[in-house]
């Protein structure tokens, strides 16, 4: 029953999810399919509620009722909402292995399972892929559920470091005696997070680790370039008495894809300031840091320039389920010292969870939020092994070329403006576009409904945003299925048709 049923189910899934070469799955299900799926959900007042359907009937329910109501974010190369990666076939296979073998990767048990060593190998390969340095420079490394969890780790480690550095010699730390008592002993009245257009998860992380959302302070370089970090303002904030600081760098900013720093000189200055004032530098590189894997070509020189120096940070957030195209529930966190992670996240007084204390690989439960965790490293390991440096570089290049094709299509259509449209110079598609494109319609009436009109067409999917006090449309290309020629033609045809329909309304 077990193997036959699973094999049958896998065949049905593959038949349903497959997309023929050259074709594109719809980005959204029809409203009728969502309504049907909703109506199929169990009714607590019904007589059969929780009575048990059995595996075969449940499979039929999932495939016939639920699956048709799911969106096409994995199956379509034109699902450009949020920053949503697809799943590479080898990553899907690896994820099936994860479920089939169901490893709980919590304790390093080298005589019992290879899982923790696979995880460590994947993390080391990522460091080298992204040219961040050797593993010895990043002792603290682990997988998380995503960028939000990694940002929680980043602020937790930053909080630990900036407070402990002011406590002097001794065993005291935030993790041991608590934030309030540690700050009182250290003479700290406030811990602030200095950023520029930081992701919303940064404020969530600040709340989770006890700093409070109000601790996140935006220091924009200018009204025209609010994504850039004003380093002069950072220096002024760092000089405040009885205040400890975490500097959070956006690489890149979620609306524009632009970077908080302009290159190596900015990062060197921030590193010098952080060392002088005992501050912590955290980089939120969820998707932007993958520009470091692009080929060394002139058309990507600006992206390599703004990425230069990010390796000087104390900690870094990376998303696996965005540009790396592994299944969801996959983030990565790096920091310089494993002792910092351990000070915050160790499990004391649990002898049954102990491992070999002489090992170079720490038990994941002592360096992260979770005590029980999925083997989420395996899809990342599989992608890195399958594609290698060159394959991943080509995949990243397809995404950038597709985003730039979308920008050119918008630029070629009368009545639409690429954003941001203010600054020291006009937006340059070649220099400024990574994977995110922001735009709006000139006509304010059309602009208010533009996201709806695009998504109703079900040819490409976008997210709504705002810029300069007006609604805006945001495209983020992050799928291995990216096709720049198809993207140009699809966007141009769609926007022309939308403009014509609006003109006749």
Summarize pLDDT for 7-55 with one digit per residue, the tens: 999 999 999 999 988 888 999 999 999 999 999 999 999 999 999 999 9
Cβ neighbors of 347 (< 8 A, separation 6 or more) are 353, 365, 366, 371
**In sequence order, what are the beta bridge partners of 441?**
416
Q: Does residue 352 have a pLDDT over 60?
A: no
Where are the extended beta strands (E) located within 323-455? 331-335, 416-419, 436-441
Interatomic CA distance for residues 165 and 499, integer angstroms:
59
> How large is the average pLDDT for residues 460-467?
97
Q: What is the pLDDT of residue 377?
A: 98
Interatomic CA distance for residues 340 and 319, integer angstroms:
21
- For 213, the token pair is 């959302």
> How large is the average pLDDT for residues 151-165?
98
- The model's confidence at residue 351, banded by pLDDT at 50, 70 and 90, is low
> How large is the average pLDDT for residues 87-107?
97
Q: What is the pLDDT of residue 169?
A: 82
Q: Is the CB of residue 337 less than 8 Å from the CB of residue 367?
A: no
Order of strands, edge to edge, in the sheet holding 140-144? 140-144, 331-335, 315-319, 280-284, 243-250, 190-195, 216-218
Q: Pairing between strand 280-284 and 315-319? A: parallel
HEC profile of 212-258: CHHHEEECECCCCCCCCECHHHHHHHHCCCCEEEEEEEEECCCCCCC
Span of 269-278, 399-408, 417-426 with lowest mean pLDDT: 417-426
- The model's confidence at residue 355, banded by pLDDT at 50, 70 and 90, is low
The residue among 446, 359, 437, 334 whose CA lies nearest residue 107 is 359
Measured in degrees and rounded to the nearest 5, phi and psi for residue 410 equal -65, -45
Q: What is the pLDDT of residue 48?
A: 92
| pTM for the structure as a whole | 0.96
Between 377-412 and 484-503, two packed helices, what is the crossing angle to 10 degrees? 50
Name which residue leads in pLDDT, 170 or 123: 123
Tens digits of residue pLDDT in 209-253: 999 999 999 999 999 999 999 999 999 999 999 999 999 999 999
- The model's confidence at residue 1, banded by pLDDT at 50, 70 and 90, is low
Q: CA 318, 322, 326 angle in degrees (round to 5)?
A: 100
Q: Pairing between strand 216-218 and 190-195? A: parallel
If you average pLDDT over every residue of the chain, what do you get? 95
Q: Does residue 181 have a pLDDT over 70?
A: yes
The residue among 399, 403, 432 whose CA lies nearest residue 491 is 403
Q: Does residue 356 have a pLDDT over 80?
A: no
- For 354, the token pair is 């102990």
The DSSP secondary-structure symbol of 142 reads: E
Helix (H) or strand (E) holding 463: strand 463-467
Q: Does residue 368 have a pLDDT over 80?
A: yes
The residue among 149, 166, 179, 129 whose CA lies nearest residue 393 is 129
Q: Does residue 357 have a pLDDT over 80?
A: no
> How large is the average pLDDT for residues 158-165?
97
Q: What is the pLDDT of residue 348?
A: 85
């Amino acid at each position: 029953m077990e193997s036959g049923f699973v094999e049958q189910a896998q065949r049905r899934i593959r038949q349903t999810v497959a997309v023929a070469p050259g074709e594109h799955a719809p980005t959204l299900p029809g409203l009728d399919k969502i309504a049907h799926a909703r109506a199929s959900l169990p009714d607590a007042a019904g007589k059969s509620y929780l009575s048990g359907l059995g595996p075969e009937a449940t499979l039929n329910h999932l495939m016939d009722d639920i699956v048709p109501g799911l969106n096409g974010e994995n199956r379509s190369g034109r699902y450009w909402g949020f920053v949503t990666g697809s799943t590479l076939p080898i990553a899907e296979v690896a994820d099936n292995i994860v479920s089939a073998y169901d490893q709980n990767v919590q304790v390093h048990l080298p005589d019992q399972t290879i899982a923790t060593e696979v995880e460590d190998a994947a993390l080391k390969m990522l460091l080298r892929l992204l040219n961040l340095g050797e593993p010895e420079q990043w002792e603290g490394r682990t997988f998380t559920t995503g960028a939000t969890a990694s940002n929680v780790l980043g602020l937790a480690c930053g909080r630990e470091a900036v407070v402990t550095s002011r406590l002097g010699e001794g065993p005291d730390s935030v993790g041991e005696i608590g934030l309030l008592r540690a700050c009182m002993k250290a003479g700290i009245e406030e811990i602030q997070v200095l950023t520029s257009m930081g992701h919303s998860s940064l404020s969530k992380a600040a709340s989770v680790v006890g700093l409070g959302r109000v601790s996140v302070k935006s220091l924009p370089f200018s009204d025209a370039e609010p994504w850039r970090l004003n380093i002069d303002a950072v220096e002024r904030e760092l000089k405040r008495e009885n205040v400890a600081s975490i500097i959070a760098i956006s690489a890149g900013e979620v609306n524009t894809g632009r970077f908080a720093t302009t290159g190596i000189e900015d990062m060197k200055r921030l590193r010098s300031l952080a060392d002088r004032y005992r501050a912590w530098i955290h980089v939120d590189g969820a998707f932007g840091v993958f520009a470091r894997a692009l080929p060394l070509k002139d058309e990507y020189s600006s992206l390599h320039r703004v990425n230069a120096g990010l390796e000087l940070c104390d900690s870094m957030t990376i998303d696996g389920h965005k540009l790396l195209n592994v299944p969801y529930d996959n983030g990565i966190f790096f920091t310089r010292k494993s002792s910092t992670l351990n000070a915050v996240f160790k499990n004391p007084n649990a002898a049954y969870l102990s491992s070999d204390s002489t090992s170079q690989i720490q038990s994941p439960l002592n360096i992260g939020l979770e005590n029980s965790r999925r083997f989420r490293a395996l899809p990342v390991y599989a992608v890195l092994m399958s594609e290698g440096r060159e394959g991943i570089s080509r995949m990243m290049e397809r995404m950038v070329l597709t985003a730039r094709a979308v920008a050119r299509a918008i630029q070629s259509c009368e009545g639409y403006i690429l954003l941001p449209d203010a600054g020291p110079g006009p937006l340059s598609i070649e220099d400024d576009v990574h994977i995110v494109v922001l735009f709006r319609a000139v006509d304010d009436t059309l602009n208010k409904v533009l996201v709806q009109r695009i998504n109703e067409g079900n040819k490409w999917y976008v997210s709504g945003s705002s810029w300069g006090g007006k609604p805006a449309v945001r495209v983020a290309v992050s799928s291995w299925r990216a096709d720049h020629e198809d993207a140009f033609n699809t966007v141009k045809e769609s926007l022309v048709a939308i403009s014509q329909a609006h003109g006749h309304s």
